Amino acid sequence: MPNQRAQAKSPRPSTGRRRNDRAHRCILDTTLELLETAGYHDLTIEAVAARAGVSKATIYRWWRSKSALVAEAIATRLDQGRVPITGDPRADLRASIQVTIDNYGGSVGGIALPALLADLVFDQDGYNAFRENFLVPRREASAAAIRRVIETGLLPADTDVELLLDVWAGAIFYRILISRQPISPGLADDLLRIILGER
């Protein structure tokens, strides 16, 4: 992820004392910790401040809302999407799908994401930051994987890549968070076949 500061407020002027990076990181850690313990709804700025040994004002100095704080916390920790390019585009695509499953199935993705999205419904700025820092990079990586499959001929050249990305992520998101169906080991393969139109 290029910009770790996600939705943080604009940078400070150059004079005077600089940001205390140790405290900064501690706040993000505490945020994730409490997210997993209490959920987004019960995650309070006061609790983060108390647990991180920081004053509330310090948090507000660097993030303008709970959603901005959570968005950055998620973005910094959910960055494990690197899938090597092996030369077998079909296998690479399968591996990428598996990464998505792991991401959404993990505690942070499963707990924080829905609440964050709910907050962003009425917050266009917040959504834009989320999109640029989180969504776009991931979709770009996934789209590249699909495009490599297209080049091998397993998918037609006029494939609607965007739609396949939505099917891919949507099916996983929905199964884990909404229908709460069990996640079988074969899920990645099943999805792979659906995406490739194999029957």
- Contact footprint for a copy of itself (CB under 8 A): 39-42, 110-111, 114-115, 117-119, 121-122, 127, 131, 135, 139, 155-156, 160, 162-167, 169-175, 177-181, 187, 190-191, 194-195, 197-199
Whether 91 and 149 have beta carbons less than 8 Å apart is answered as no
Residue 143 contact among DNA, a copy of itself, none, beta carbon within 5 to 8 Å by kind: none
CB burial string 80-113: b at 16+ within 10 A, e below: eeebeeeeebeebbbbbbbbbbebbeeebbebbb
Residue ranges in 3-42 that form contacts with DNA under rule CB under 7 A? 12-20, 23-24, 42
Please choose which of DNA, a copy of itself, none residue 65 contacts, taking the beta carbon within 5 to 8 angstroms, the exact cut-off set by kind: DNA
46-105 positions binding DNA, by CB under 7 A: 46-47, 53-58, 60-62, 65-66
Per DSSP, the three-state class of 104 is helix
Sign of the CA dihedral with 82 first, then 86, 89, and 93 last: negative
Integer CA distances (angstroms), 42 to 66, 93, 122, in order? 11, 37, 20
The interface partner of residue 122, options being a copy of itself, DNA, none and the CB cut-off 5 to 8 Å by kind, is a copy of itself
141 binds, among DNA, a copy of itself, none (CB under 5 to 8 A by kind): none
At its nearest, how many Å lie between DNA and the CB of residue 11? 8
Give kind and range of the element (H or E) at residue 91: helix 89-105
Closer CB to a copy of itself, residue 90 or residue 139? 139
Q: CA 97, CA 92: separation in Å to the nearest integer? A: 9
Angle (CA) 1 35 37, round 5°: 145
Site residues, DNA (CB under 7 A): 12-20, 23-24, 42, 44-47, 53-58, 60-62, 65-66
